[in-house]
Amino acid sequence: MMARLSIRIDLDPQGRIGPGKIDLLEWIGRTGSISAAGRAMKMSYRRAWELVDSMGQVFGQPVVVSQTGGRHGGGARLTPFGEQLIARYRMIERVAAQAAAPHLDALQDEMRARDAADTAPLGADATP
Amino acid sequence: MMARLSIRIDLDPQGRIGPGKIDLLEWIGRTGSISAAGRAMKMSYRRAWELVDSMGQVFGQPVVVSQTGGRHGGGARLTPFGEQLIARYRMIERVAAQAAAPHLDALQDEMRARDAADTAPLGADATP
DNA sequence: GAACGTTATATCCAATGAAGCATAACGAGC
DNA sequence: GCTCGTTATGCTTCATTGGATATAACGTTC
């Protein structure tokens, strides 16, 4: 039983960013196109575009700049802020995982330890 | 613009546990009943029960023991494992947040810094 | 200037999730 | 023994989400 950490960042009004959006950004950076990134992640262009757009709205600034028409029909690139966002997220992910590692291990030990052993029936009353 | 960390733990085959399920467990511990916990969280009993059940399945052992009938109609209590699970999750949440804090701050600075400033149009080509 | 692949957007539809409602079993308290 | 609140479960909507498809605009390349 493996246990990994999954991190997301909650922004104040309403907006989250988690591993999915960050992966998408990385794919856009790698492929130079939203649609190619979508294909790589087996995600519809529509969804990929919506995710990109929602990030731009949440952060109040675009995470990618795009171009219609052109060499291969157009394309998209990460903005400097988009790249920073990826870097920050990965950094946070890394340090959080490091800090949590021993506790995750302990949790797994506890899971194995009690394996359906003690589940005392409830005797006294709880707070009603 | 506030940024908080939100943590969830991914278990190997398929199973996640995040803030929602942990909150629910805490409410069950506090109130001594699944339905009361559901009400407190404005969640249907159905859903609360399903979440509890899914946790039991994911971990291969119950996180709460329940009793039908009785003093106030029945009730539910956390198993020792359930309590340990809460404690571990909160611990992980705490150390992860501590480790991530400076980077979250940095991210917020970066968000403010670039506020729609530089979004250079794409000139060269990307990896096609 | 025609072709191509992409962005951007609208529309329709399927899948999923969750709420709501209904019901049975249960057991302490009155 | 009747009531009451809870567990446990089924079933029936209802809303949200995401996929699929269609279309227009666009600009390099041929």
Rounded distance between C-alpha atoms, residue B87 and residue B77, angstroms: 15
Q: What is the pLDDT of residue B126?
A: 36
B123 touches A: beta carbon within 8 Å = no
Residues A23-50: tens digit of each pLDDT: 999 999 999 999 999 999 999 999 999 9
Residue B125, CA: closest nucleotide via C1'?
D28
Q: Is the pTM of this model over 0.75?
A: yes
| Residue pair B62/A118 in contact by the 8 Å Cβ criterion | no
- B39 vs A1, more confident: B39
B31 touches chain A (CB under 8 A): yes
Rounded CA-CA distance B20/B70 in Å is: 29
Give burial (CB, 10 Å; 0-12/13-18/19+) of A100: buried
The answer to whether residues B23 and B55 touch, using CB atoms and an 8 Å cutoff, is no
Tokens 């359930």 belong to which residue?
B82
Helices (H), B1-128: 19-31, 34-40, 45-59, 80-114
d(CA A48, CA A52) in angstroms, rounded, equals: 6
Q: Report which of residues 53-112 in chain A place their beta carbon less than 7 angstroms from any atom of strand C.
A: 53, 66-70, 72-76
In this predicted structure, the answer to whether residue B49 has a pLDDT above a threshold of 90 is yes
Dihedral, CA atoms, B109, A65, A57, B21, nearest 10 degrees?
Answer: -80
Which residue type, as a one-letter code, is found at position A62?
P
Which chain A residue lies closest to B66 (C-alpha atoms)? A122
pLDDT at B79: 95
pLDDT tens per residue, range B51-77 = 999 999 999 899 999 999 888 899 999
Give the C-alpha separation, A38 to B32, whole Å.
46
What pLDDT does residue B65 have? 95
Per-residue CA distances from B18 to A29, A59, A117, B51 (Å): 30, 24, 25, 11
Helix (H, G, I), strand (E, B) or coil at B67: strand
pLDDT reported for residue B128: 35
Question: For position A115, what pLDDT does the model report?
Answer: 58
With a cut of 90, say whether residue B113 has pLDDT above it: no
Residue B112 makes CB contacts below 8 A (sequence gap 6+) with: B1
* Number of separate helices (H) and strands (E) present in chain A: 4, 4
| Residue B14: predicted pLDDT | 77
> Please, is B51 exposed, middle or buried when counting C-beta atoms within 10 Å of its C-beta (0-12, 13-18, 19+)?
buried
Q: What's the whole-number mean pLDDT along residues B17-36?
A: 96
Say which amino acid occupies A98. Answer: Q
Residue B34 tokens read as: 């699944």
Q: Which of B32, B61, B122 sits opposite A65 (nearest CB)?
A: B122
Judging contacts by C-beta atoms under 8 Å, the chain A residues touching residue B99 are 95-96, 98-99
pLDDT given at position B114: 64
**Parallel/antiparallel/unpaired status of strands B3-11 and B15-17:** antiparallel
Q: What is the DSSP string of B31-53?
A: HS-HHHHHHHTT--HHHHHHHHH
CA distance B59 to chain A (A): 7
Given a cut of 70, the residues of chain A with pLDDT beneath it are 114-128
pLDDT tens figures, B86-109 = 999 999 999 999 999 999 999 999
Read off the pLDDT of each residue in B8-32 and give the average, rounded to a whole number. 92
- Chain B CA closest to residue A61: B116
